[in-house]
Amino acid sequence: MAKNSKGIEVAEILQDKCIACQICIGECPVGAIDLSPEGLALVDPELCIGCGKCQESCPVEAVKFERAGKKELSREDRGMPSEGVPGYEGVAVFIEVQDGEGVQVSWELMGKARELAEKLSTRVLGFLLGEGVDHIAREAFAHGCDEVHVSEHEVLASYRSAPYGHALTRLCERVKPEILLMGATHQGRDLAGVVATHLKTGLTADCTDLSIEDRTRLLLMTRPTFGGNIMATIYCEHRRPQMSTVRPMVMKLPERTPGREGRKVFHEWTPPPVELPHIVEFMGDALEGGMDIVQSAALVVAGMGACDPEAFHLLQELADVVGGTLACSRPVVEAGLLPYERQVGQTGKTVAPKLYIAVGVSGAIQHLVAIQGAEKIVAINPDPNAPIFKVADVGIVGDYARVIPEFINQLKNRMGA
């Protein structure tokens, strides 16, 4: 164990484990830790007083520190049961409304909220904002919600950050849910940051897994970070609600129970007396082929290896045969061959189709994190070492220009066409 000139046993950072989160730098009471030029934490042994705080706070066990006589606390021990924050109860979902209906991701979250609520022995709440939207409560009940809290006002007729942020904050203050889930849509992400800041609470974006920690009853929120290279599990111990956004298609849509009943509570809301922005015009995306890739049950996905406009006829033909839609990975969008709306990946959309055919997609981690929910993955790629083959249910190593016509032919035969 390393000692400094004063004979104190000092902490050491394991360089291959450090993720440069800087938590230890903030925790160190004597300022002995700095970020090295390589972007990793470094302990100045002469300044270190050997208190061990850096080791306790490190989320990745990258601090080597042993002190004689000190009983080392296990990670479990450190996650001691929390008293929670009294007065907050219920798992709430913000119900996003589009064209007078609740959007699907809200119902996916309702299913997750049900599961979390059962674990906590509490109820599922729905928060609904808009004008003339209270009929949506019925759908919320059918998807497992117990109570819908509604604020209606003409100012809420179309989404704008400030009034929605204000109204949802008020609902949280009145109803006091312990958890608030929102879809990681453009609207959900725009709104979540506003509400979390008003409430001074923790918010975790784009979670791929949510669970309740048995001992502490805390919400554990897992999300990809560093471009999908690692998964971080985040928690929020002292503030409420524990807020999280989740992308569409990440959670499973719960089964709908028509006629299931619940309680509807209306809350008066008065807009703050400030000048609000005014929506001048809305231009809908012209979805060529008329299909949203998130909703499509089958996708044929062009990657860098099929980044060629000539290839698209062939891929479209395959998409037609399997009843699917043409999508792509990032390089194809960057080459200007397909619009962003067609992009699958960390910076594009998360998808969970029944059938996913990757053509010339190498399978970078940023792409793979967004196809976790796909039922069957077929990969066609000339490089046998492409990472996509590690996750594909079935792969064909070869040139797509020759493989796909054969694939279409044989598939048509088997389909009896």
| Residues in region 169-228 near other proteins by CB under 8 A | 185-187, 189-194, 196-198, 200-206, 220, 222, 224-228
Considering only residues 80 to 119 of the shown chain, the ones binding other proteins according to CB under 8 A are 98, 103
368 binds other proteins (CB under 8 A): yes
Handedness of CA 349, 354, 358, 359 (dihedral sign): negative
Q: How far is the CB of 232 from other proteins (least distance, A)?
A: 6
Q: Does 378 help bind other proteins (rule: CB under 8 A)?
A: yes
Residue from 9, 27, 115, 308 in contact with other proteins (CB under 8 A): 27
Q: Is residue 403 part of the contact set for other proteins (CB under 8 A)? A: yes
Which residue do the tokens 């998808």 mark? Answer: 351
- Contact with other proteins (CB under 8 A): which of 84, 104, 157, 159? 159
Contact 383, 358 (CB under 8 A): no
Span interacting with other proteins, options 124-132, 134-142, 155-163, 300-308, rule CB under 8 A: 155-163
DSSP string for residues in 314-374: HHHHHHHHTT-EEEE-HHHHHTTSS-GGGBBSTTSB----SEEEEES----HHHHTTSTT-
Residue 324 has a CB neighbour count (10 Å cut-off) of 24
Footprint on residues 7-26 left by other proteins (CB under 8 A): 16-26
Backbone Cα Rg of the chain: 25
Q: Is 276 in the site for other proteins (CB under 8 A)?
A: yes
| Residue list 317-336, contact with other proteins (CB under 8 A) | 322-323
Please report whether residue 59 would count as binding other proteins according to CB under 8 A: yes
120 vs 403 by CB, closer to other proteins: 403
Q: Which is nearer to other proteins, 88 or 159 (CB)?
A: 159
The reply on whether position 379 binds other proteins by CB under 8 A is: yes
**Number of Cα atoms under 13 Å in the Cβ half of residue 400:** 27
Looking at the Cβ atoms of 72 and 393, the one nearer to other proteins is 393
* In the complex, least distance from residue 123 CB atom to other proteins, rounded to whole angstroms: 24
Q: Which of 13, 37, 14 is nearest to 25 (CA)?
A: 13
Going by C-alpha positions, the residue among 80, 75, 127 that lies closest to residue 241 is: 127
Q: What number of chain residues touch other proteins (CB under 8 A)? A: 118
Question: Hey, what amino acid is at 415?
Answer: M
C-beta of 238 vs 313, nearer to other proteins: 238
Please list the alpha-helical segments (H only) found in 12-135. Answer: 23-27, 53-57, 75-78, 104-120
